[in-house]
Structure 1
Amino acid sequence: MFLKMRSLFVIVIFSLFFLVSCNEYQKVLKNTDVKAKYDLAEKYYNEGDYKRAKRLFEQIAPKYVGKPQGERVMFFFANSYFQSGDYYLSGYQFERFIKSYSQSDKLQEAVYLEAKSYYELSPKYSLDQTDTDKALSRLQNFINTYPESEFFEDANAMAQELTIKKQKKEIEIAKQFDKLGEFNFPILVSAIAALDNFIGDNPGSVYREDAFFYRLKAAMNLAQNSITSRQPERYQEAREYYNALMKSYPETKFLKKAESFNDKIKKELNEVEETLTK
């Protein structure tokens, strides 16, 4: 019985505290006293109540432009958006802070959090990667500018993750070109060109082996479906792509399929040689 009464007492006290807090927030929110808004906003910020804090900072931020407290207000305002998960607005507000307070002690952290805001907005690889590009640009800027920063390793890891995501999108587009090219040969030429570029531009990519194989596959499709007069040249090109794959990845995961392509290449080129010697 005592425990039940004690629990009920705690609930009542908590409810009263919550109501007082809500009343205080609503009262200050409607008030014109900027100092009161500032004090309560900072109180909420320090307590981790970022949703209430950002609402108050939003109201007072214009009032502190050009004033000594302006830098502090703008940083807290931007970070309140970030901590609340509102990454579009945190990215925007941190960008404003960086432009307005280029000598701030908080500049490094602001540059990092602006980049991380766009990192959080980066969608899965199959969608538009505009925010990924923004994040990579800002992360690279941070990495280049602050190599000794405490945030450096985290920024570098985020940049690597987003780079792999971009590479995955590129390789999937090239694979789609290859698939469509089975019925549209000019697309096969585009697939080969795209994979050539991918291999050249991404020497350390986790998808590089895939690019080597799908370039070979596209070249085989092109050779098999070409007019007779163009087949020797295109099978020869396919053989070069096979050799390149095996040189870079002698134990490739695509070994069985690659070997079957090579057998086909040998057979076709031998037939051409026999025809020429007759």
Structure 2
Amino acid sequence: MGKVLSFLLIVLFFASCSEYQKALKSEDVAVKAKVANEMYENGKYSKALRLYEQLAPAYKGKPQAERIFYFYSKSYYLTKQYYLAAYQFENFAASYPKSEKREEASFLAAECYYRLSPRFSLDQVDTDKALTKLQKFIDLYPNSEYLPKANEYVKELTDKLEEKAFKIAKQYHDIADYRFEYATAIKALDNFILDYPGTKYKEEAMYYKFDSAYKLAMNSIPSKKEERLNVAKTYYNSLMKFKADSAFKDKADDKLAMIDKELQQYSKQ
């Protein structure tokens, strides 16, 4: 029985391959469409895609085109060709505004850009594009079944941009070794805090801003040192006001003691 079943499976496999090859070479679009749909339904998306690519020009503008172009777009998506899938889904949504698949196509187009978004350390052009597409979808379909997933993607992508912005700002602090560079680090960290007021990195950003100001003050020329020491002290106070039990408190307290020691010389004058 087992041998018979294996034999039948082999026969069906080669019959399927033969049918597919014939469809690829056929001039009959109906044959191509039938086999393409069979391949799609059987999860053979790459094969289905080759046939849909051949079918697309022939079906454009025809009544059956909506179904063909939906499967065509989905085949790109299911084979992880996200740039092409996004393009096709957007075309589908624009071409068939009354389609019951339009909402799904609009969401999947945005999701494609989400999937193209790289890790935070790389260029974030696709992340920005994904956020724009997702927000447009949310505005267009505020009651969509895909809304929770769209909001989840937006949060994840926003967190990624926030992390990248923080790492860039902190890098100015990490590489600074001269007065001008400390000032640049303070500005970068300050801008980050202003741009992301609710960020989870705020405590760190405030500490590194204080630390940059401390180093700037301690390495300042005499005519600017007192003023800069006092500025650094205000950054310390801001950090403690934000989080009195900061993880950086011990290090910050040590630096504050050095600032107060330096300031003593000015109080004696």
How would you bin the TM-score normalised by the shorter chain?
A: over 0.9
Cα distance, 1:21 vs structure 2: 0.8
The aligned residue for residue 271 of structure 1 is: 265
Shift of 1:82: 0.8
Equivalent residue in structure 2 for 1:35, among 7, 30, 39: 30
Letter in 1 for 2:141: Y
The change in CA–CA distance for 1:102 and 1:239 in structure 2 (over 3 A counts) is farther
Aligned 8 A contact 1:54 1:80 in 2: yes
Secondary structure at 2:199 match in 1 = coil
Q: Is the contact between residue 164 and residue 206 of structure 1 (CA under 8 Å) also seen in structure 2?
A: no
Asked if 1 retains the 8 angstrom alpha-carbon contact of 2:169 and 2:192, the reply is: no
**After superposition, where does 1:58-73 map in structure 2 within 5 Å?**
58-73=53-68
Does the C-alpha gap of structure 1 residues 204 and 103 become closer, same or farther in structure 2, counting only changes over 3 Å?
A: farther
User: 177, 184, 188: which one pairs with 2:182?
Assistant: 188
Q: In the alignment, what sits opposite 1:219?
A: 213
Q: Comparing 119-128 with 244-253, which one deviates more in the overlay?
A: 244-253
Q: Is 1:85 matched up with 2:89? A: no
Name the structure 1 match of 2:50: 55
1:103 aligns with 2:98: yes
Closer/same/farther in 2, CA of residues 101 and 191 from structure 1, 3 Å limit:
farther
The within-5 A match list for 1:194-273 is 194-273=188-267
Partner residue of 1:144 out of 115, 139, 145:
139
Greater mean alpha carbon deviation, residues 140-149 or residues 158-167: 140-149
Is 1:166 aligned to 2:161, yes or no?
yes
Letter of the structure 2 residue corresponding to residue 84 of structure 1: T
AA matched with 2:225: Q
Instruction: Calculate the aligned-residue CA RMSD, in Å.
Output: 1.7
Per-residue CA deviations over 1:135-176 (Å, capped at 9, x if unaligned) read 111112222222211111111111111111111111111111
Identity among equivalent positions (%) equals 45
Instruction: Give the deviation of 1:109 after TM superposition.
Output: 1.1
Question: What pairs with 1:18-33 in structure 2 (closer than 5 Å)?
Answer: 18-33=13-28
TM-score, normalised relative to structure 2: 0.93
Query: Comparing 67-76 with 95-104, which one deviates more in the overlay?
Result: 95-104
Compared CA separation, residues 125 and 63, structure 1 to 2 (3 A): same
CA shift at 1:256, angstroms? 1.8
Q: TM-score, normalised by structure 1?
A: 0.90
Question: What residue number does 1:3 align with?
Answer: none
Is the alpha carbon distance of 1:272 and 1:155 closer, same or farther for their aligned partners in structure 2, counting shifts above 3 Å? same
Q: Equivalent residue of 1:90, what SS?
A: helix
For these two proteins, the number of residue pairs brought into alignment is 269
State the distance in 2 between where 1:161 and 1:98 align: 25
Structure 1 residue matching 2:166: 3-state secondary structure: helix
Q: Is the 8 A contact 2:49 2:76 kept in 1?
A: yes
Aligned partner of 1:157 among 152, 160, 165: 152
1:236-277 deviation digits (Å, cap 9, x = unpaired): 221222122111222222222222222222222233222x3x
| SS of alignment partner, residue 121 of structure 2 | coil
Q: Which runs of 5+ in 1 are unaligned?
A: 1-5
Amino acid at match of 1:162: L
In structure 2, give the amino acid aligned to 1:270. Answer: Q
